[in-house]
């Protein structure tokens, strides 16, 4: 009979062994005592890349960044108590964006709950409906050892299943927390495998009938069809592809749709809209499609619809490439002039926006975004924060297809953006750019702890306008008293971001020109480059660019 502490150690080591057999490659750990058995088991397995973060929120968002960039879950581990609550924002984003994530919180044993024991809260179903599965197996018991491997397989499989997302295990441990692990194999192959969601003939017939010969647009977002499949579909239908940066499909697509549709020209109104994956950030595009009265379709392999306007006529749950393969030979095209008009207008916008390429231009959000995109090496990751950075990249940065663009657009929060970029850099080993606003940077500054020692090529660019620049583009700017607006929405923080970066030991510099920005972006990281911008000047530049063609 093994000692209780040895049973706990063996339970953890067995879970880790089976997770590794099922494909787990990374763990992001926040330090703590109660999580000792699992932390030791993870670090003892050489197949697991372990990264340690001082902040639980940072650990969880780094795991999110890993999952976002690989499509595989990383494990986020923390101790008991309020530590577990700091995982909540990352779990929310993983749920909303369908990113695989394995969350392991550790807990006190049952006899220490509801009796005032230190660092003990109710962690049962802590994340509610945001997880694909919650399980609390209790303190490890020798009698239940035959269930350990199936628990590991099920937890990982549900995270990467047909609807990827977070899975939460709450594991209770008794003291002593250190024991000797014994791992036994039973020879059973429990690995879960998932096939493609293939359309049936009825759906194929509907698609061919409703899409053929009509004026339509393909809207490409993250999690949609592959770039090659989209291009073949566009060629077969003679439809333009409106591709946002995260889709990976911007080559030969309409890049500047946001500016194009601001004129609300009825000659551009489609009869059919087919949206693949998540939606672009452009509200203007959404309003244009809504007001066009077009028949809207949404194609996605996950079960969550993207239909904030309640106008999608057909929700198609299918592997997008499989659907395209099934219909491609039977579709009839629209008239060629339809797609050519979109291309003509996009060419005009591309020509007008080359003004942003001038290295002698002033530092503005659109100009910084454009030069970050063009300045990163091909094959790099680019993580983009919500609020203005993602919009500046989507609307003005040009073709991003030489980069892998990542952003948390499920819940659209500014939480944990630095940590997300760290997770992407750890996962891929590639140069990773991060374009982030000053508020989001301050919000996640604790993730900079230890960055200088991680040996990551992470190139952070902060557009610093001392506050919330996105609100200057909203009605609050003109409808409120200026002082009240500045207090509630401008929210100047007065933080010296260069000193913040240097305090964490990271190569940090405030620049004064695009030439300096290009030099810094082209330098191996970790680096932080602070680009001072002005909120009013950014608004004026947006307006000028949209009206320039």
- Tens digit of each residue's pLDDT (9 = 90 or more) over 156-186: 999 998 899 999 999 999 999 999 999 988 7
- pLDDT tens readout for residues 408-417: 998 888 999 9
pTM listed for this prediction:
0.94
Looking at residue 38, which CATH number applies to its domain? 3.40.50.970
435: three-class secondary structure by DSSP: strand
Residue 485 falls within a domain, yes or no? yes
Residues 460 and 542 in one domain: yes
Residue 281 falls within a domain, yes or no? yes
Residue 353 falls within a domain, yes or no? no
Q: Is the pLDDT of residue 338 over 80?
A: yes
Residue 194 falls within a domain, yes or no? no
* The pLDDT value given to residue 500: 98
Residue 179 falls within a domain, yes or no? no
- Decide which of 290, 321, 348 is a domain's last residue: 348
Looking at residue 334, which CATH number applies to its domain? 3.40.50.1220
Strands 381-384 and 432-437: parallel
Q: How many domains does the chain have?
A: 3
* The pLDDT value given to residue 9: 97
Angstrom distance (rounded) from CA 75 to CA 51:
10
Containing structural domain, residue 255: 201-348
Let me know: does 80 contact 105? Beta carbons within 8 Å: yes
Angstrom distance (rounded) from CA 468 to CA 445:
17
Per-residue pLDDT band for 191 (boundaries 50, 70, 90) equals low
Residue 191 falls within a domain, yes or no? no
Residues 368 and 343 in one domain: no
Spatial CA neighbour of 395 closest among 370, 361, 378, 414: 370
* The pLDDT value given to residue 458: 98
Residues 327 and 393 in one domain: no
- pLDDT tens readout for residues 32-86: 999 999 999 999 999 999 999 999 999 999 999 999 999 999 999 999 999 999 9
Angstrom CA distances, 228 to 93, 233, 241, 353, stand at 28, 9, 12, 27
Angstrom CA distances, 318 to 130, 192, 502, stand at 22, 20, 48
Give the CA angle between residues 430, 192, 101 to the nearest 5°: 45
For the chain, the distance separating the N- and C-terminal CA atoms, rounded to the nearest angstrom, is 79
Residues 289 and 386 in one domain: no
Per-residue pLDDT band for 193 (boundaries 50, 70, 90) equals low
Per-residue pLDDT band for 113 (boundaries 50, 70, 90) equals confident
Angstrom distance (rounded) from CA 323 to CA 204:
7
C-beta neighbour count of 491 within 10 angstroms: 12
Per-residue pLDDT band for 276 (boundaries 50, 70, 90) equals very high
Q: Is the pLDDT of residue 192 over 70?
A: no
* The pLDDT value given to residue 130: 96
Let me know: does 102 contact 24? Beta carbons within 8 Å: yes
Residues 415 and 444 in one domain: yes
Residues 335 and 431 in one domain: no
* The pLDDT value given to residue 473: 72
Residues 363 and 480 in one domain: yes
Residues 519 and 416 in one domain: yes
* The pLDDT value given to residue 475: 80
Mean of pLDDT values over 504-509: 98
- Decide which of 322, 348, 374 is a domain's last residue: 348
Residues 339 and 398 in one domain: no
- Decide which of 306, 326, 348 is a domain's last residue: 348
Residue 432 falls within a domain, yes or no? yes
Spatial CA neighbour of 284 closest among 307, 310, 256: 256
Residues 339 and 362 in one domain: no
Mean of pLDDT values over 105-119: 89
Q: By mean pLDDT, which of 52-61, 261-270, 510-519 is the weakest?
A: 261-270
Residues 448 and 538 in one domain: yes
Residues 167 and 215 in one domain: no
């Amino acid at each position: 009979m093994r000692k209780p502490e040895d049973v706990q150690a063996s339970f953890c080591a067995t879970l880790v062994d089976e997770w590794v057999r099922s494909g787990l490659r990374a763990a992001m750990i926040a330090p703590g005592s109660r999580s000792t058995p699992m932390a030791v088991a993870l670090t003892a397995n050489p197949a697991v890349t372990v990264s340690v973060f001082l902040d639980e929120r940072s650990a969880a968002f780094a795991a999110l960044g890993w999952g976002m960039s690989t499509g595989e879950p990383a494990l986020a581990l923390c101790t008991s108590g309020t530590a577990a609550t700091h995982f909540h924002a990352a779990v929310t984003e993983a749920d909303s964006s369908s990113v695989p994530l394995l969350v392991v919180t550790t807990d006190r044993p049952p006899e220490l709950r509801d009796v005032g024991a230190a660092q003990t809260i109710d962690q049962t179903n802590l994340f509610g409906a945001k997880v694909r599965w919650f399980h609390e197996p209790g303190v490890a018991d020798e009698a239940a050892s035959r269930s350990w491997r199936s628990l590991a397989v099920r937890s990982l499989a549900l995270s990467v299943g047909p609807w990827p997302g977070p899975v939460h295990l709450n594991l209770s441990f008794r003291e002593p927390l250190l024991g000797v692990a014994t791992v036994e194999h039973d020879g059973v192959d429990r690995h879960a495998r998932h096939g493609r969601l293939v359309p049936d003939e009825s759906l194929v017939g509907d698609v061919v009938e409703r899409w053929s010969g009509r004026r339509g647009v393909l809207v490409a977002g993250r999690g949609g069809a592959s770039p090659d499949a989209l291009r073949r579909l566009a060629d077969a239908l003679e439809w333009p592809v409106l591709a946002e940066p995260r889709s990976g499909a911007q080559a030969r697509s309409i890049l500047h749709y946001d500016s194009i549709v601001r004129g609300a020209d009825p000659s551009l109104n489609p009869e059919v809209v087919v949206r693949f994956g998540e939606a672009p950030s452009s509200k203007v595009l959404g309003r244009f499609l809504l007001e066009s009265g077009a028949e809207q379709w949404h194609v996605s392999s996950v079960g969550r619809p993207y239909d904030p306007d309640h106008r999608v006529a057909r929700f198609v749950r299918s592997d997008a490439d499989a659907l395209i393969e099934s219909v491609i030979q039977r579709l009839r095209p629209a008239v060629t002039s339809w797609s050519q008009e979109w291309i003509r207008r996009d060419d005009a916008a591309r020509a007008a926006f080359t003004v942003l390429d001038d290295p002698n231009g002033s530092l503005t959000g659109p100009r910084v975004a454009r030069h970050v995109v063009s300045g990163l090496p091909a094959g790099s990751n680019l993580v983009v924060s919500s609020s203005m950075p993602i919009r500046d990249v989507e609307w003005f940065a040009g073709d991003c297809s030489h980069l892998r663009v990542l952003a948390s657009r499920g819940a659209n929060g500014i939480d944990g953006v630095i940590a997300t970029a760290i997770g992407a850099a750890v996962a891929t080993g590639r140069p990773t750019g991060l374009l982030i606003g000053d508020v989001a940077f301050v919000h996640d500054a604790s993730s900079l702890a230890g960055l200088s020692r991680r040996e990551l090529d992470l190139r952070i660019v902060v557009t610093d306008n001392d506050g919330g620049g996105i609100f200057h583009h909203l009605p609050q700017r003109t409808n409120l008293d200026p002082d009240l607006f500045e207090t509630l929405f401008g929210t100047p923080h007065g933080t010296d971001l260069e000193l913040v970066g240097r305090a964490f030991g990271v190569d940090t510099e405030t620049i004064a020109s695009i030439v300096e920005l290009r030099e810094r972006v082209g330098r191996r990281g970790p680096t932080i480059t602070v680009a001072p911008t002005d909120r009013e000047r950014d608004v004026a530049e947006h307006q000028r660019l949209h009206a320039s063609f």
